[in-house]
Structure formats: C-alpha cells, structure tokens
Structure 1
Amino acid sequence: MSLTCGRILELTGNSPKVVVACECLAAGGKTWVLLHERHGNPLASIDFFLKDGFHLDEVLGSSEYDFELVALQPGDRLFMKPCQPHFVFGYAHSICLDPAASHLPNINDFDGLMDLLSACVLVILGNVLDFRTYRAPSQDEYEKANKNQQILIDHEINSIPISERFAICYARGVALRLINWIRMCSEIRGPGGFIITDLPSRFFVQIAQTLIKYKEGANASKLDLQANCTLGMLTKQIENVVEVDLKISSLWSKRHLIPSGSLALANQGDYSVQWPDPGRKKWSSIERDFMDAGVTPLDRLCFDTQHDRQHLELSVVIPQLKSRSSASQHPPKRTKS
C-alpha cells in the first residue's frame, strides 16, 4: 500500500522551473525511475515511443534513452521536470506529505495556464483514456470480446461502474466550464504578438489528433498494445467527446489544419496571457448543471441502456418474487394417504 500526495512547485530567480513530484517522504520508502533522452530526441513527441528500439523493460547501448533510478528515504525530496516520463515503485509502505496548496497553477503565467488547460483536457477525455471503456463487465483485461460481450460494449455497457460514469460526466462538465472561462476572460498572444482565438479548442484538437496518430503508428509498428482498444474504438470515443462542446466540434471538422504528432504546444515560450477586466466582468455566476454539461451522446446511450436493463430485470424478477412469496405463504395442502 502506498499513500502519496504530490504537488507542483515553481521556483523563481536563477532556479529553473521544476515539479516537486514528491514534496517530502515522511515514512517508508519509494523508488522513482526517470526516463532521460540521450540525443535530444524530444520526449513530447510520439515518435520517441514508436521507434523500434524503445522498450520499457530494458536499455541497450544503442538505445536513445536512459533510466535514472532515485531511491527516497524519509525526509528526502524529489525535484522533477514537467512532462517527465517516469514510474514509481513503493518498496515499503509510504506516506508523502503535501503541506500547502502550492500545486495550484499560476494562471497569470502562460505556463501555469497551460498546466490548467492540460488538466482540463485530461478530464474531458476521461473514459477515452481508461482501458475499462473498451472491455465488457465480464471480460478479462487481455481477452478479446466474444459476440455477447461486444454487444454490451456497443451499447456502452463496459467495465466502468455506472456511479463512476456519473462522476466522469460531472468532472467533464467542470472542466468545460473552466475552458469556457479561459475563452471568455483571457487574452492569449502567440508568436509575433498576434491574438490567438480559442486556444483551448485548438490545443484539445491537437491532443485528440495526436492520440489517434499515435495509435495508427503503434498499429503500423505492431506494438503489443491493449487488445480491446482498437483504432476504430478509440476514434469513436474521441469523436463522441468532441460532440460535447460546440466550438471543439466545429474545429474538429477542420482538424487537418492543426499540426499533430506532439502532446506539447509548439513554441510555448513565445506565448503570453493577460486577463483584461472587461472580460472578467462578462463572466457570469455558475448557471448550469455540471453533470448535464458533461454528458456525451455515448454517456446518454449508456444511461438509457442501463435504465432499460433495470426495467427489464424488474419486469421479470418481481413476478417471480411474488410467485415465490405467495407459494411460501400458502403451501400446498398435504393429501391424506
């Protein structure tokens, strides 16, 4: 068991910006394994992970990357770059402390705004990135769906519990509200000082396209990927989520005009953000239901299917229960021999 609370910390002055992956290890022990590039191959590019020489379980002399292992003991702190590929192994029961809310992004700084926007994109994608979306409730993780299981998946009855599906929709609604707030209240300028219209939609479409492009590249490279998340199913889920926002949906039809292949915004250092007072004054108070705002067409199909399923079960089970109850209350009379 491992209890972890990480936080983000921005260091100013002459210190570089870093992320504190583990602020302070209070008890136990953890090992962080960080992946580093050898020849300047950018880790944000999907090409890094699609090359034939990339393996998570070994590093060869010809590999373009190294793994660095850092073992933490109580009292240690770990400083890590943003977007650093890594994994963590807890070799003992551990507790990591988070003494403050310093992880909240500074939205007056463009990098901080992108931190918030990236979190929103991750939440909106929600079950798209969850492998349980592509498995029926009774289906094993590495087992392909049979005919009956595929029927369940086609009707959005998957391994994600219905209560969690509701939570995903609510969180998506909150993230969409934040994106609308960024659209309305901020003024973002890109390279050359030109105002960028609707950067949140552009960035979302870039990320969604990159996921599809990575899946295409993984298939072409014949990588051993999750068996049930096919390219067609992934594309279906992404295009479903796109429909939840009119501006993203409109831009999705023009996605060929937006560069893809990287999970990072190109030339991010050349961007800036301001928050003009008129824009903030236009922003109204909360006026909509987050849950309703975050429901996609496939979410609606899932909820309707579950409702029909429950209704059918009740129509079958209740008469049987009544019959059994009546039989128990009025047992058949014994005949005299």
Structure 2
Amino acid sequence: MFTDHEFLKSFIRSIAAKCGKHISSAFPIVDATLPEGYRFAGTLEDVASKGSTFTIRKFRERPFTVIELILYKTICPLMAAFFWFMIENKRTLMIIGATGSGKTTLMNALLTFVHPSMKVVTVEEVREITLPIKNWVPFVTRETYAIGEKVGEVSLYDLVKVSLRYRPDYIIVGEVRGAEAYVLFQAMQSGHGGISTMHAETLEGMINRLTNPPMNIPPPLIPTLNFVLHISRVKIDHRISRRVLKVWEIHSIDDNQVLAEWNAFNDTFEMFFKKSLILRKIAQQRGMSFEEAWEEVERRAMLLEYLAQNKIIKYEDIVKWVYSYYNEPESTIRRIRIGTKKIEIPITIPKLTIEEKLGIPPSTRKINIEEIRRKILSKIKVKRK
C-alpha cells in the first residue's frame, strides 16, 4: 500500500526503466516484461483518475504437468490421451478462455506429448512454453526501446512469418490477437501442425474474432483448425478450480461436433470422442481400423491414469514414460501392469552431428576432414595390449 503519490510514480518509473521502457506524462501507459520474465503494466495519474497504478503478473516457476491437471480434474486421462494421439498426428488445436483461465498452462501440459522426432517452433511474447525435444526453436518477441516509435520492434507476426522458413512440423503461438493469426492459419492449411490460445468465451465468439479485423481469417480457412478446447475458472465447494468446459471438433464454419463437455452437477466429463471424424480419418491414413485407433487412445489413457494414481507428477519422469511408449508401446504397457513405479530409459533425442559433438560453431563447419578425424581420435583412448 502506497501513501505517497510521488513515491509511487517514482517506483513505477524505476520498474519501467528496469524493463527497458519509459513512462511519463507524455506516454502514461507502459506494458513490459521484467528481466525475470514477469509481466508488468503501469499507468500514471494522467489516465488513471484515482491515481497511478501498476500490476505485476508472476508466472509459476515450475509449470503444471499434464498429470497434475488430471489430478486436479482440469482434464481427464481419456481426454488427455485423445489429444496425445492428435498431437502425434499433427492435428491443430485452439485453446480458448478468459484471462487467467489456464489456457497457456493447458497448452504447455499437452505439449509434453510432442513426438521427439518433430521439429517445433514456438512464438511467444513471454517465454512460458517448455518442450523436451532437441529440435525446438523458441522465438520471443522484442519490444522497441524508442519512445513512441516501433523502430527495432519484432512482433508475433514477424516471428510467425519467419518460422515458416524453418519447415517445422508444429508452430506453437502463445496467443493470437492480430495479423499473426492469418499467417498461422495459412501454415496449418499447408500441412503444418499448429497450436495456440485465444481470449474467447464461446466457439461463436472465437470464430467472430478470427473472421473479423485484425485477424481477418477467410471463412473457408476455419476448418483448418481441427479442435477447440474451452477452459474456464469455476467454483467448486467454495474454491476456484479450472475445468475444460467443452471440446469441439470443427468441420466447417457452421458445422462442428461436441466431443466432450463438463457436467457441473457431479464434476465429471461427458465424452463422445468415438464420434470424431478426424480420428476415423487418421485411422484410414495409418492403415488401421477405427477400433484399433480407439484402442490406441484407450491404452494411452491407461498409462496416464497409472501415472496419476501413482502421483508421478515430475515433468522429467512423465517425459520418460511418454518417450518409452513412443519407442516400445507394448513393453511400456507391460510395465504398468506389473506396477513399475520408475522407468530408467534415457530420453530419446535425435543424434548429434559430428560437428555438434565437437562443439564446432556453424560458421566454421566447413572444416578439413583430416582435422575432424584428428579431433575425434584425440577424444578416443585406445587400449593397447
């Protein structure tokens, strides 16, 4: 609580300066990021009638894992397993909800299921997403340091556009609000996987935002988005919790299928994932029957339920189990049937090139073969008899 208005203004200016920004009577609003990654917003009394104000939004140091969300009943094992299968097959998702509803938390948790062989580009304003794969290119926007100018600014639009040059399997955008949405939908139309979040309270509200300025997504591109998840804060037993209220499968701008819905009366999920046309399409593409594809989803749900029952909530441990399933699904299911609590397999990542192993920077990788050979031999100890 501040009682001295001049001290409050001085404090806001010092925080803004720490963010590399400027706030004054000429520019009385600041929206910036602290060096620790926290979001800072401040206003001076020129625009705030009750006096200068500021807010700092802190993020959890260790993000919630998918198993924690299952334990908190934000999602259920079958729902998580269904989207595990969808993410493996490069389907597209949009998570909608109000501010503070848990959109980024849910997206981050579902990204645990990204296949280790995939190449993923993430684009954010504040670095929140964590991925366990080696082939991950994280981009973060840059705000301008010039007062009242946009010189040197790197926006979400700029980064989403350049991300296409990296030929990613998946493009992940922390939140779409403007022209970057159009580039993302064009990328999804051309075969890239895509996941993002958006502020919207209903499916209709999301579509209205997408098809109007500044996003301007043409209606024929809307079905490029395969699934929409609505997450919200709800009050249960006088406590605030978060639940995925509804899941839709998008067929066209006017046609969709509800795949899951939260029942507020008994705090359970009513699920209709077997009605998914996209699941049937994936089964056909992979040469499977629909029953085999559904059995695959159920087996993954069994694994996630096992991890939840045994309180295996550490991110690294969950990743090991997920990668174990990718590598040896039958063996992994046998492990959970005999009650294995810990798995010791190494996390599988793409092999490093010789240049990367030797620490040779990209600018000098055109190096003489004999020099590479000498460096390799110098690292190998040959035992002589």
- Length-normalised TM-score, structure 2: 0.23
Higher-Rg structure is 1
